[in-house]
Amino acid sequence: MTPANPFTTLIQPHELQALRDAGSPVLVLDCSFDLMNPAAGCAQFEAEHIAGSLHVDLDRDLSAHDRPASEGRHPLPPREAFARRMAELGLSRGAQVVVLDRQGANYCGRLWWMLRWCGHEAVAVLDGGLAAWKAAGGAVETGAAAVPAPGDFTASESLAPALDTNTLMQRLGRADTTVIDARAAARFRGEVEPLDPVAGHVPGALNRPFGENLQADGRFKPAAQLRAEFERLLGGRDPAGVVHQCGSGVSAVPNLLAMQIAGLGTTALYPGSWSAWCNTKGTPRARG
């Protein structure tokens, strides 16, 4: 069963500490990762992490790599396989999950979204990550984590809407669909493309680099500020029609989470994102 008052977007360090002090079932998962050096995340975790937390790897745990290029660089694994992996890490349906990373909620956002995709509502991002936890006096440790006792988590009805390439193609240009691209502005405009075979963006998409949701200390901006910024970006478009994307469906999630924090509702993710779009024959592309 879900906790009576679950944290579903953000959790502050003092709130996590209070849950632990009260003996509430809570699972802390560290998703630190480096796209250009995939081994770095595990090394960062072993050098220092929240006491009792476990490491979750973007490539190993949160992606499937037996898929065609048309599904993108970080295709989602089957829901059942992902749910089994979470159970192996000790997750049970009654637990509050807290996720964090050292990269501005980029990689832990993926886990936050995937748990919701598997029906787990009680998952929240630790606002400010490891730095905020340490600043609040939270306990840290080093080394590899102990293997936990398995939990009973299984996938249930999704809480996270997702679109595939064909569905987005059909909806492109409709008044009820607005694509928000979370990549850096130069990649969005097609001036540079370090990772994918084609540069550019989905025609008609708006650009909001995911880092714009954060303050200088790594915490998310206040809800009212996020709401004002997204409403300005949307320019009167209905927030309910937003579809988020990025390069491979990972860094789009901070924008999706920010809209939820802002009270703008649950919006959709295009998990394949640009890496799937530009590897699919017949998709239109834009630059500038």
pLDDT tens figures, 96-152: 999 999 999 999 999 999 999 999 999 999 999 999 999 999 999 999 999 899 999
Catalytic residue among 31, 108, 118, 246: 246
Euclidean distance between CA atoms 132 and 126, whole angstroms = 8
Query: CB within 8 A of 58, min separation 6: which ones?
Result: 31, 33, 38, 41, 74, 107, 110, 250
For the residues 229-239, what does the mean pLDDT come to? 98
Q: What angle do CA 36, 38, 41 make, to 5 degrees?
A: 115
Token output for 212: 């714009």
Percent of the chain with pLDDT over 90: 95
In this predicted structure, the answer to whether residue 158 has a pLDDT above a threshold of 60 is yes
Confidence of residue 32 (pLDDT cuts 50, 70, 90): very high
Measured CA distances, 16 to 36, 141, 223 (Å):
31, 16, 20
Q: Give the residue-averaged pLDDT of 179-193.
A: 98
Active site residue 42: no
Mean pLDDT of the region 154-177: 97
Please give the pLDDT value at position 222: 98
Tell me the C-alpha distance between 216 and 128, whole Å: 10
Mean pLDDT of the chain: 96
**CB of 183 within 8 A of CB of 247?**
yes
Q: CB-based burial of residue 152 (10 Å sphere; 0-12 exposed, 13-18 middle, 19+ buried)?
A: exposed
Alpha helices in the chain (DSSP H): 13-21, 40-47, 58-61, 79-88, 106-117, 129-135, 165-171, 185-189, 223-234, 253-261, 273-277
Q: What DSSP line would sit under 5-65, residue for residue?
A: S---SEE-HHHHHHHHHTT--EEEEE----TT-TTHHHHHHHHSEETT-EE--HHHHS---
66 confidence band (pLDDT: 50, 70, 90)? confident
Average pLDDT over residues 8-36: 97
How many of the other CB atoms lie within 10 Å of CB of 65? 10
- Longest alpha-carbon distance in the chain: 55
Confidence class for position 1, pLDDT limits 50, 70, 90: low
**Tally of CB atoms within 10 A around 180:** 24
pLDDT at residue 5, rounded to an integer: 84
Q: How far apart are CA 245 and CA 171, in angstroms?
A: 14
